[in-house]
Each structure stands twice: as structure tokens, then as C-alpha cells.
Copies of this chain bind each other. A is one copy, B any other.
Amino acid sequence: MSDRNRAVTIADVAARAGVSQASVSRVLNGKQSVDPAIVQAVQAAITALGYTPSVAARSLVHGRNDTIAMVVPDLENPLFQGILRGLSRAAAADGYRVLVADTAEQVDEEEATALEARHRCDAIVLCAPRMPEERLQRLVARIAPVVVVNRPLPGAQVPIVGVDYARGIRDLVDHLHGLGHRRFAFLSGPELSASNAERLRGVADAVAAEPGITIDVIEGGSRLDDGYEAAEYVDAARREGVTAVIAFNDLVALGLMTRLRELGVEVPGDLSIAGFDDVPMARFATPPLTSMSVPRGEIGAQVWTRLRTLIAGGPIEHTVLYRPRLEARESTSRV
């Protein structure tokens, strides 16, 4: 790091300004008060020499980096992308940088990756939707300060920022119920994913709360292809009376709609479809896709707020879950 050619150090500045390194350091950090004349001389020397403090040396002395790491299973996921973006910008505003640690879906390497990242950075943002609770529990204890994203962790000593998927699903079901739907299908996501489990909880809650409804669960996935490939099963369910489908997310819903169109199933005429996440494309689908909007960027910013508190030695703040907002569009209609 630093410059190619021999770096100019604080000693050079001190020499040129005719003062001690300590004085230079003081001017640099604005600690204590320094004689205006010295400040002048030092600043002159600094600009003359083009001096920049060594990050490494500072890190060694302070035991911190002003860098945090975001550990993520797949950078391709729009949710994580949005969070990373919001996090990166919020942290930057406080002078912190963000390192990305993509574990490439290797659940077994998440711990090692997180530990390694923690060793290089001051704190961790952990996205590990598939890690078993116990392992996560232990890991979190080892890498604190840390904020966990988008998954519950009962009794954990760690701030959690996420989305209230259960609530979102319930709100969505309510919406569809209001449109007259009674028989639903839920196209589920990755089996071990925590957010999928939360959605399923929402499904169960909805069924319990609204006696007149049924919700079939059909295996789906998280990507466009998964929705596309599930279409036949969905169509079969439709023939058996299902009138509305809730997909794990928008990508799945969009893939599903594509295949249904090929199969000649009209949306929403023959079947209402809703997604989750409200990705930009949802508005532009044909028909525009009803979805539950999730504030990705804001989640990232909120994660930073929590982490900053922790870094500053503050308390573990309460879990915060964002309630998804219904974006009712034309893919769902009165039955």
C-alpha cells in the first residue's frame, strides 16, 4: 500500500518544519493546542512534501482500521447489493470503508471468512441466512462487534436489522383476501434460508388467523429460473382451485409469469400473482407485479448506525425489523 516510491514520513515533515514528530502528530490530529507558528510551519511542510499519514502505522497503534467487512453469501442477490450500497455510503460518511467478503454460497467457509475478515477490520456485518443457529451464535460471540442482517437469532447478544417477512406475508395475504381470494399457493424459497422460514411462519399465521383460507406450499427457489420451472406445478394448483400465488421473491414471480404466459394462463385473469422485494423490474413487468417493498438502502444505513454504536462501545441496540410496504399492481386482481 501507500506510495510506490519511498513514502514521506512524519519524520520528514518534522525535520522540514524544524519541530518534533510529536508536534506534527498533534497538528495532524488536532489534539491539545499548538503554537500557531508551529501549526503554520507544519502545514507548510506537509503540503510541500505531499505527506499522507500511514494507515498501517495508525492501525498498529490504535488497534483499529476504520474499516468494516460485510460477509455475504452471494453478491448477486439484489437485497444484499442494496444493503451493501446503503451501508457503504452511510459508513463512508463517517470515514469508514467497507470490505466485501463473498463466501460464494459456501456455508462451511462462512465462519473462516468471517473470522479472517474480523481480523482485518474493526467490525462485521454478517449475512448468513443458512447458517445453523448454534454455529451462528458462537460465531457472533467471537467476531463482535457485529450486526446480523436479515435473520432472527433468539436470545442473541447482537443487534439485528432485517425485514419482517412474516408480517409482510400476512399483509400480502390480507390484501389478496380483501380481493376475494381464499385459496392460495406459496412458492417457497431456498429450504434452509432463514428468510424463507420467516415467510412460512407468515403463511402459517395467516392460515391460523383467517379460518376460511388455505395456502398450499410449492417448492420454488430464489431465482428467475426457479419460478419459470415451477410454473407447471402452479398451473396444476390453479386447476384445483388456487386463485392467487405468492412467490418467495420478485425474481421467482417474474420467472413464473413468463412461463405461465407461455402456457396460456392469464395473469391476473386466471391467476393472481404477487412477489416480494419490489425490485425495480416489478413495476415494468407485464402486468406490473404486485410486490412487498423492502427499503434495501435504508437497511444498510440502519446497519451502520447499529454498528457504529457498537464500535464506540455503546450498547447492543434492539432488533429492528422493517415492515414491507404493499405495492399493489395489476398482477393481482379481484377474483
Contact = CB atoms under 8 A, between A and B. Distances in A.
A85 B89 CA distance: 19
Contacts of A59: 1, 55-56, 59-60
A88 B76 contact: no
A121 to B, nearest CB: 6
Interface in A40-71: 52, 54-57, 59-60, 63-65, 67
A2 interface: yes
A264 to B, nearest CB: 13
A190 interface: no
A259 to B, nearest CB: 9
Interface stretch (A29-37, A91-99, A177-185): A91-99
Given A89-B104, A99-B97, A119-B2, A65 B76 contact: no
B81 A100 contact: no
A60 B60 contact: yes
Given A59-B59, A261-B286, A286-B286, A52 B97 contact: no
Contacts of A280: 223-224, 251
B99 A99 contact: yes
A298 interface: no
Q: Which of A52, A64, A75, A81 is packed against the most chain B CB atoms within 10 Å?
A: A75
Contacts of A55: 59, 119-120
A144 interface: yes
Copies in the complex: 2
Interface in A130-183: 144
A258 interface: yes
A192 interface: no
A59 to B, nearest CB: 4
Given A57-B60, A75-B84, 7 more contacts: A7-B63, A56-B56, A81-B81, A99-B100, A100-B100, A223-B280, A254-B281
Interface of A: 1-2, 4, 7, 52, 54-57, 59-60, 63-65, 67, 75-76, 81-82, 84-85, 88-89, 92, 97-102, 104, 117-122, 144, 223-224, 228, 251, 254-255, 258, 261, 280-281, 283-286
27 contacts: A1-B63, A1-B64, A1-B65, A1-B120, A2-B119, A55-B59, A57-B60, A59-B59, A59-B60, A60-B60, A75-B85, A75-B88, A76-B82, A81-B81, A85-B102, A88-B102, A89-B102, A97-B101, A98-B99, A98-B100, A100-B100, A224-B283, A224-B284, A251-B280, A258-B284, A281-B281, A286-B286
